[in-house]
């Protein structure tokens, strides 16, 4: 169904609404995690901060409890990266993503020397993982002993992409340790992954979380080429013109707020998916700020939003039990915005560092 051309501001507000960033939501923890199709989890505190900024009254114990009861897990998902997802979503989505993981592995294998028997490596890894959870350092030791001529990095990545694994939580502040151990998902969840691939469902889930979006956006987020799937769904989707290959697709009932609706200041953690889910990211990050957001080594800065757009970066430090959140804006801010950032920032630093004796916010002048 044809629809109107969308402005960048309309795209911004639609995305913020779906990402629970226009106002904190009262929805349940599990409903929120599924609404977002998971939260990227390379940085252990990231999912906690991402939920704190989106849910009213969120406490870290809520996510920790869900991780402990195994209704939420950390595992490899879209873009072959670690995400915190509900168990239900993992079982529903992970099989559809296997081609992404296989392609990611093939790209690494083709660049590395030496023989490689993937089936044999997977079988050897499973044998050790079935005995006990293992870190990848431990797996590397046993796998290189079994396959001395193979490249160690290729061995590790072959296992990561072809054995569905869950990161085992520990009683740390953010539920997962810095040197985690992994165990087969089937063992952790006491059920096997279904052999069901549903690309159309993945498209709908993505649009509900990040739409309106192009087919290129879908590929950036998922790693899958879903252009044919989108074309097959065109009759049930809203299609906003954008030129050849740049049309934006959306669910008919996807929220599209008034572009003038107020967007409050919000703090986003490192690697927040709203910053990674589109090929063209100008709906939330202006081109002139990209280099301060997307860093070398595939790092993504913790950022904050002003009027719905990334307006700076932030970080925390604790010295002698004194916790400080430092805010670095990209440009000058008006008094009302500075006050809002300071208030939100103090709440954030108290959330991140509850054991500190004092909490402070330092709002720097733009460089």
pLDDT, residue 245, reads 65
pLDDT, residue 109, reads 87
With 80 as the cut, is the pLDDT of residue 158 above it? yes
Quickly state the pLDDT bin for 5 (edges 50, 70, 90): confident
With 90 as the cut, is the pLDDT of residue 96 above it? yes
pLDDT, residue 108, reads 86
Quote the distance between the C-alpha of residue 22 and its chain's center: 19
Query: Phi, psi (5° rounding) for residue 313?
Result: -125, 165
β-bridge partners, 125: none
pLDDT, residue 157, reads 92
243 Cβ neighbours under 8 A, 6+ residues apart: none
β-bridge partners, 69: none
Strand order of the sheet with strand 303-306?
Answer: 266-268, 303-306, 309-319, 322-329, 358-363
Q: Which helix (H) or strand (E) holds 217?
A: helix 215-222
Mean pLDDT (the chain, rounded): 94
Rounded Cα distance between 221 and 153, Å, is 25
Query: Phi, psi (5° rounding) for residue 309?
Result: -115, 150
> What mean pLDDT comes out for the span 341-352?
98
With 60 as the cut, is the pLDDT of residue 2 above it? no
Q: Which residue has the tokens 């925390």?
A: 316
> What mean pLDDT comes out for the span 203-210?
98
Q: Which residue has the tokens 């560092």?
A: 353
111 Cβ neighbours under 8 A, 6+ residues apart: none
pLDDT by residue (tens digit) across 46-80? 999 999 999 999 999 999 999 999 999 999 999 88
What tokens does 12 get? 């911004």
């Amino acid at each position: 169904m044809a629809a109107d051309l969308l402005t960048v501001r309309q795209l911004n507000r639609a995305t913020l609404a779906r990402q629970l960033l226009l106002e904190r939501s009262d929805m349940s923890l599990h409903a929120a995690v599924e609404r977002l199709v998971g939260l990227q989890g390379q940085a252990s505190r990231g999912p906690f901060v991402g939920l704190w900024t989106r849910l009213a009254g969120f406490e870290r114990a809520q996510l920790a409890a869900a991780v402990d009861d195994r209704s939420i897990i950390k595992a490899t998902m879209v873009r072959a990266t670690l995400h915190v997802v509900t168990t239900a979503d993992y079982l529903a989505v992970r099989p559809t993503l296997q081609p992404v993981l296989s392609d990611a592995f093939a790209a690494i294998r083709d660049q590395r020397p030496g023989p490689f028997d993937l089936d044999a490596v997977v079988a050897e890894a499973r044998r050790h993982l079935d005995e006990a959870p293992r870190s990848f350092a431990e797996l590397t030791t046993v796998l290189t002993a079994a396959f001395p001529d193979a490249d160690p990095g290729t061995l590790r990545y072959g296992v990561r992409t072809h054995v569905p694994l869950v990161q085992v939580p520990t009683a740390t502040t953010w539920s997962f340790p810095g040197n985690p151990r992994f165990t087969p998902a089937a063992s952790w969840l006491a059920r096997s992954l279904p052999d069901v691939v549903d690309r159309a469902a993945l498209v709908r889930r993505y649009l509900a979380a990040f739409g309106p979006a192009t087919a290129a956006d879908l590929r950036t987020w998922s790693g899958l080429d879903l252009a044919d799937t989108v074309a097959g769904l065109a009759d049930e989707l809203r299609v906003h013109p954008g030129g050849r290959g740049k049309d934006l697709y959306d669910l008919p009932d996807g929220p599209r707020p008034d572009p003038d609706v107020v967007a409050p200041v919000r703090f986003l953690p490192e690697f927040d998916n709203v910053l990674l889910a589109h090929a063209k990211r100008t709906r939330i990050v202006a081109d002139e700020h990209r280099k301060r957001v997307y860093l070398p080594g595939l790092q993504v800065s913790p950022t904050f939003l002003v009027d719905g757009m990334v307006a700076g970066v932030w970080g925390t430090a604790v010295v002698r039990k004194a916790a400080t959140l430092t805010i670095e804006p990209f440009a000058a801010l008006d008094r009302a915005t500075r006050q809002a950032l300071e208030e939100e920032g103090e709440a954030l630093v108290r959330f991140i560092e509850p054991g500190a004796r004092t909490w402070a916010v330092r709002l720097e002048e733009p460089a």
